[in-house]
Structure 1
């Protein structure tokens, strides 16, 4: 599948130019934002880890080997990119044990910056947000148009698309999932099963969001929508009064789209009809998600960009700093600005 088929249209107009992202790991920096007070004692050792050129699962394996514990005793809040400089939390379950020597896990690609004991393990999705510093290099753009676009994004937000990385190289995760769904089979390995189920839900969500972007309704509520606050997983039905809620204009409250699971869309009226029609040709995938036991959830369609600032360290470099809720993709912001070139290339952008 093409990038456009996986992601959908831009909301704010054509790209303002082109640039390179991730020419080096330092060009894509991510810090987990955790608002959990750590006790300083307990059976779980929490690690604040910096890694570069290493994905989260590889880092967990190295920590497990160095600590001499099974991988299943290592927990983390979220997956972070390999091609990036990231700082994130891990936890180890060590009942009755002293803090292990983790020096064997550490090198230029992984450093343990801090370690703290706590009474509970780190749960998936426990971090509140992610802070980003991105550097777009080899920038070739209409700078006035780019400034206007950035101001527009800061004021209006962006479509909350799942990024291409969710679907694997050339959409391989989705293709694999389709094959398994047709065979009514689920992978035995938990991490593989989770990755493929997530790819399917993400793809179906992006289809709904793409339709709302095309219709111009991705950033406004309509009767029958299910509304949610930026950092909440609960939602409620929009009537006429809710559609006029001033918190929508402040980017605190948003319409949502479906993360499919068991049952029909809980949206109402024309919104429900649209959501059902958009997946009407994906019966195998819908049944596969339901058979896996996933429950219907919602995801906000509009993504506000927290604390967005920008500057130009050099004429051909744009540096962006911002914060996103956990589970949202920084690349969704980048694609509203520029087309991306592969590192070392100066033409033929990756348009998506």
Structure 2
């Protein structure tokens, strides 16, 4: 049997990603032929609104799709088996804009459509890139935070956020500090956190200051909204200190000066420690020694390091990818969709809709039988 090809279209948030992926059922080999992405960025201190993000996706869909097909080197769109798109979860307007683009291509070229769960796409791409066999999955992004393990053709959720996602917590705190959104706010928060280990000259080392923030682990679940609120209060206190010092005043005796670097360091250490705790508990429950970190926040080097220390203490290992694959992209949607298509799954055109709420454990993982 010859390799099969799929075009994947992802647009659940501010990144429009389109790519071509191939899978050979005979050898179970996967090849990435193209992975094109275009990001909508808003000014520092602001977030991205659904209507503006949707307009961005509509404006760039055709050019990104053309580049993906050209880079893949396909002689004809007819070489594709199916068009895959993100059905959810995500932001409603961007999801809809991308789905309309995918539906147009499928109708134009006479191809099947496959609606894909965004999280399942992350997991399948992570498994292929890292070679992780049957890991506990930590899925962390701007819109989702879940601890997952596979059982009986479902990705079962063992723990999750009770309010906002960890990525949303970090992104919103970046707005509080007026940190730029380019290339993405979480990355810039991470770079500031690294500077907490140095004095202002960037050379002289120091002990980073760990400020007091809530630690909100509730069984297997986490809560991040209270942490964000407390971090915002510390940021307000920092601004008062800066104003006092700028006017020639001095801090109270024994009062530590708060810096953006220490704030970012503290936020990362707190929320990532929470994620490591619930992931370790899930590993103990299912008897796994592998951890796979997926989603945009999974690019964070500090999270990977903390998870790696925990995994090694348990005699295990951690698997993660770089920004090409952990940040939202089209090939992860193409891969998960193609695997489903091979087992006979199709999304009828009249059902090629989107939903902002699409549970990871709602998906029948028909291509896995282990």
> Same fold judged by TM-score > 0.5?
no
Larger relative helix fraction:
2
Q: Provide the TM-score with structure 1 as the length reference.
A: 0.28
